[in-house]
Amino acid sequence: MSLVIRLMRVGKKGESKYRLVVKEKRDRRDGKAVEYLGSFEKMAGGKSTKKINLNRIKYWLSVGARPTPTVKKIIEA
């Protein structure tokens, strides 16, 4: 079982809101997640809002879950 930390899209059309989730690598984007780790919202004008549980992300990284390149940028910023 290969785990990955990725974004899952939620919200209305035209309003980009995402959840950071831990999922199995082969699952579809909007399928069931193992755990929800936070949320991310990119707004107009280059602003963004993020609420991330860094303790849980560190745990999943130590267990072997790999973040996608986009999630890696969000965590580091």
Q: Using CA atoms, how far apart are residues 21 and 43, in angstroms rounded to an integer?
A: 20
**pLDDT recorded at residue 53:** 93
User: Residue 34: which residues within 8 A CB-CB, separation 6 or more?
Assistant: 3, 21, 22, 23, 24
Q: Give 5-37 as a DSSP string.
A: EEEEEESSTT--EEEEEEEETTS-TTS--SEEE
What is the DSSP secondary structure assignment for residue 64, as one 8-state letter?
A: T
What residue ranges define each of the domains in the chain, with the CATH number in brackets? Answer: 3-76 (3.30.1320.10)
pLDDT in tens, 9-68: 998 888 889 999 999 988 887 788 999 999 999 877 778 899 999 999 999 999 999 999
